[in-house]
Structure 1
Amino acid sequence: MGDGLTIEQLARYTGEPEQRLRDWQELGVLNASRDGLVPPDEVDRVRLVQLLLRRGIDLEEIAKRRRNGTLEWLEDWPFRETSGALYALAEAAEIVGMELSTLQRFREAFSPSGPEDYVTEEEIGLLRAWKTAALAGVPDEAMVEMIRVYIDSLDRVAEAEQRLYRFYVYRRLEAEAQSPEELIERAKAATDQLTPIIEPIVLYFHRRGLIRAVREDIVMELAEQTGLVPRAETAADLRMAVVFIDLSSFTPRAEAMGDVAAAAVLERFSSFVRSSSAAWTGRVVKQIGDAFMLVFTDARSAVACSLEIESRAAKEPQFPAVRAGIHWGTVLYREGDYVGSNVNV
């Protein structure tokens, strides 16, 4: 399919009129076409411009920032998808050796950031991984579920990485820099230092979590085989203790304390919940404000953990009472979460 997009394709993929895109090219907001084509990542650049415009930043300011290098970090970002050959869906399906309908299902689950009717070189690698998983016996519906978990979890990781960089690194550099040029140079140097450590850190915590999950599965499997617990009726059924725990009347108390003080209380409570649940081999499934959902493979650990959290919180001067609800039973595992009537009780 080639190594680039025509201006007509770029317009169709981004929803912007062709003439407007040409105007943006003339202003220097977008890259100029070469031999009638722009690189595939120009789609991302258009989306950035669209977002800036929606936030009230005009084209002149965007062009100025691009000229002085303020937006250069996005173009040089090492984790951007590299430019390369583009493949029509049918062509990609033939290259990988899978049915077109299967490829389309993958694309729907993947929610690609680029145009929906072509596949990039990097996505070809993902499609091959999908096929490898299928050959190993993983059904399509399980792969779709896994992809959704990857997307949701790693989107959150990436957001935290960027937000914390902006809050604690970029803001400090912005205050210290004597000129925009110095800010750009120092921010780039900080990014160059931090970027190489991101993927090793993610890999470490993934490996640690995987070891823990394998250990838990070995125990659950042996418990079923020895008759300690009944075998699950379906593949995704698990016998778990579910805990919902939060701070009583935290919302009105937070309003009285103010956001900063309330955030400090919440941070302290979060540390109690996470350390105690880890000590009692539990897992934090989700957090919404001051409320946590935890799961345990046995009810005794769930009760002990809840009592420990309550005891630790009771020693804190500004903490309201801790509330906990615990239920044991069969739950259904779906997309990294636990659902079913025993969760809703």
Structure 2
Amino acid sequence: MTRTEVTYPIVELLLPELEEFLVYVWRRQLAASAGRVVQGADDEEMVDRRLAVAFADLVGFTRLTRRMEEEELGELVEAFETTAADLVAARGGRLIKTLGDEVLYAADDAGTAADIAMRLIETMANDETMPELRVGMAFGTVTTRMGDVFGTTVNLASRLTSIAPATPYSSTAPSRRS
């Protein structure tokens, strides 16, 4: 048998499954690219600006990967990313990137970022299929370029996420009490 004769039946068998997956991946990539273009339209060059940035991370995701089937895990990640993207946009933030079990978003002010954090925590807590969520947030100068964010403020938000309790959020933004 030739390579083509062996390959063609396999492709025919896998195509229905792969087609749906590829369309999903393509749509997510297209949406992410379009979002970066729109968000980055005003910052082709690197620009420093003051923003609140936050990471929202699913707690215990590594343990989940050992217990769940890949399809279940994919559905969980898709639900988390979709919920986070919708909520961030609806509350006035900008989704910067999704990282599987974690999302990075930004807002013009700490209050908006904190509101998004609390809504994300509340939404995930009300969904019994979702693990707990931890959020770390920092406010300060970040470098933006093509819709992405960089700098010590972003690094601080990431570190705060790793030590944040699973329900409330950790933040460097001044509270109303301080």
Q: Counterpart of 1:61?
A: 3
TM-score by length of 2: 0.64
The unaligned stretches of length 5 or more in structure 1 are 1-57, 69-162, 171-197, 218-233
State yes or no: 1:274 paired with 2:85: yes
Asked if the contact 2:142/2:151 (under 8 Å) is kept, the reply is yes
Q: Please give the residue correspondences for 1:257-272 in structure 2 after superposition, counting only pairs within 5 Å.
A: 257-272=68-83
State yes or no: 1:305 paired with 2:116: yes
Aligned counterpart for 2:95 among listed residues 284, 287, 296 = 284
After superposition, the Cα gap between the structure-2 partners of 1:263 and 1:324, relative to the gap in structure 1 and judged at 3 Å, is same
Using the alignment, how far apart are the partners of 1:340 and 1:261 within structure 2?
Answer: 35
* Greater share of residues in strand: 2
Deviation at 1:279? 0.8
Deviation at 1:168? 2.7
TM-score by length of 1: 0.35
Q: Write the deviation string for residues 206-230 of structure 1: whole angstroms up to 9, x where unpaired.
A: 49x73x777xx7xxxxxxxxxxxxx
Q: Write the deviation string for residues 140-164 of structure 1: whole angstroms up to 9, x where unpaired.
A: xxxxxxxxxxxxxxxxxxxxxxx99
Task: Give the total of aligned pairs.
Answer: 138
State yes or no: 1:168 paired with 2:20: yes
Deviation at 1:306? 0.8
Letter matched to residue 307 of structure 1: M
SS of the aligned residue for 1:318 comes to coil
When Rg is computed on C-alpha atoms for both structures, the one with the higher figure is 1
Identity %: 26
After superposition, the Cα gap between the structure-2 partners of 1:237 and 1:253, relative to the gap in structure 1 and judged at 3 Å, is same
Asked if the contact 2:46/2:145 (under 8 Å) is kept, the reply is no
Using the alignment, how far apart are the partners of 1:244 and 1:338 within structure 2?
Answer: 12
Q: Counterpart of 1:174?
A: none
The unaligned stretches of length 5 or more in structure 2 are 9-14, 157-178
Deviation at 1:336? 3.5
Letter matched to residue 278 of structure 1: A
Q: Counterpart of 1:252?
A: 63
* Greater share of residues in helix: 1
RMSD: 3.4
Q: Counterpart of 1:14?
A: none
Letter matched to residue 70 of structure 2: D
Using the alignment, how far apart are the partners of 2:93 and 2:102 within structure 1?
Answer: 16
Deviation at 1:265? 1.8
Q: Please give the residue correspondences for 1:192-203 in structure 2 after superposition, counting only pairs within 5 Å.
A: none
- Higher relative contact order structure (alpha carbons within 8 Å, sequence separation ≥ 6): 2
Letter matched to residue 101 of structure 2: D
